[in-house]
Amino acid sequence: MTVPRRRLVAGNWKMSRTNDEAVRLVRDLLRELLPAPGCDVVLCPPFTALTEVSYLLAGTPLKLGGQNLHFEREGAFTGEVSAAMLASAGCTHVVVGHSERRQLFGETDPTVARKVRAAIDGGLVAIACVGETLAERDSGRTLDVLAAQFDLGLGGLAAADLDRLVLAYEPVWAIGTGRNATPTQAAEAHRALRARARARWGGAAEGLRILYGGSVKPDVAPGLFAEAELDGALVGGASLLAASFVPIVRAAAGG
């Protein structure tokens, strides 16, 4: 018998919110989402606000995540943070291989693989992102691109690692553009990724959560979550206001 996967909604604040703004946002969210959000919720503020936000989330079911990490444990890597540093700031999760990291900061599938490994070894849950560009979709290569990103970025993991892995399907053309994948497009990609995961890890892949990310807003969330393949969402812009993030969490929770 397969156990239903509990949905997860993660808010990626990107380079937004000073500490004072972060505190206000978290207070707004907690007012609406406590005592029980109805699904798992992870907030990913900028590094500078992690500790402050961790104090506010302590004792609540909401979790804290970083937006990136370095794969080394420590050393002369100016501007970088390690898994242990994120954990010590209260993080349980970390986003890895976001398309903005890939496109703007030169991350590749091999570096994603090293970062996912470092996150898991450091006791964090890696939220690993994959997704095709518009040119790749338009030329009919979406599923090949996803398969390659999966194999190169995640293929080295063992079934035992899966309780520390969440996958996020984020079509690059839908991130921050106001353009969504349709529920059908998202579900097709999720099915392909799940098939890849089953081929790699067998039955252990049934528990792997696959999130959708790309301009998820309150108006489109119910349609996306009508697809059983979607185990939640990675939300950028709409995670910056309680008025838009809370309805997405509620839609993921099924109400």
| Choice from 7, 8, 12, 43 touching ligand PEP (CB under 6 A) | 12
Indicate which residue of 100, 107, 136, 170 is catalytic: 170
- CB of 173 vs ligand PEP, minimal distance in Å: 10
CB atoms near residue 88 (< 10 Å): 13
66 and 81 in contact (C-beta within 8 Å)?
yes
**Binding span for ligand PEP by CB under 6 A among 75-83, 170-178, 185-193, 219-227:** 170-178
Q: Is 229 a catalytic residue?
A: no
Using CB atoms within 10 A of its CB, is residue 133 exposed (0-12), middle (13-18) or buried (19+)?
middle
**Is 176 one of the binding residues for ligand PEP (CB under 6 A)?**
yes
User: Which two structure tokens, joined as six digits, stand for 172?
Assistant: 């690059």
- CB of 73 vs ligand PEP, minimal distance in Å: 27
In sequence order, the 6+-apart residues with CB closer than 8 A to the CB of 100 are 14, 175
CB atoms near residue 24 (< 10 Å): 13
Kind of pairing between the strands at 125-130 and 209-213? unpaired
Indicate which residue of 70, 98, 107, 132 is catalytic: 98
Q: Which 233-252 positions form the footprint of ligand PEP (CB under 6 A)?
A: 234-238
User: Which two structure tokens, joined as six digits, stand for 13?
Assistant: 């604040």
- CB of 204 vs ligand PEP, minimal distance in Å: 26
Q: Is 98 a catalytic residue?
A: yes
Q: Which 103-142 positions form the footprint of ligand PEP (CB under 6 A)?
A: none
CA dist 87 and 121 (Å) reads 11
**Is 232 one of the binding residues for ligand PEP (CB under 6 A)?**
no
| Choice from 175, 197, 249, 253 touching ligand PEP (CB under 6 A) | 175
Q: Which is nearer to ligand PEP, 122 or 214 (CB)?
A: 214
Exposure letters 226-241 (e unless 16+ CB within 10 A, then b): ebebbbbbbbbbbbbe
| Choice from 122, 183, 214, 232 touching ligand PEP (CB under 6 A) | 214
Please give the residue whose beta carbon sits closest to ligand PEP in the complex: 236
The DSSP code for 161 is: G
Active site amino acids: 98, 170
- Residue numbers at the binding site for ligand PEP (CB under 6 A): 12, 14, 98, 170, 175-176, 213-216, 234-238
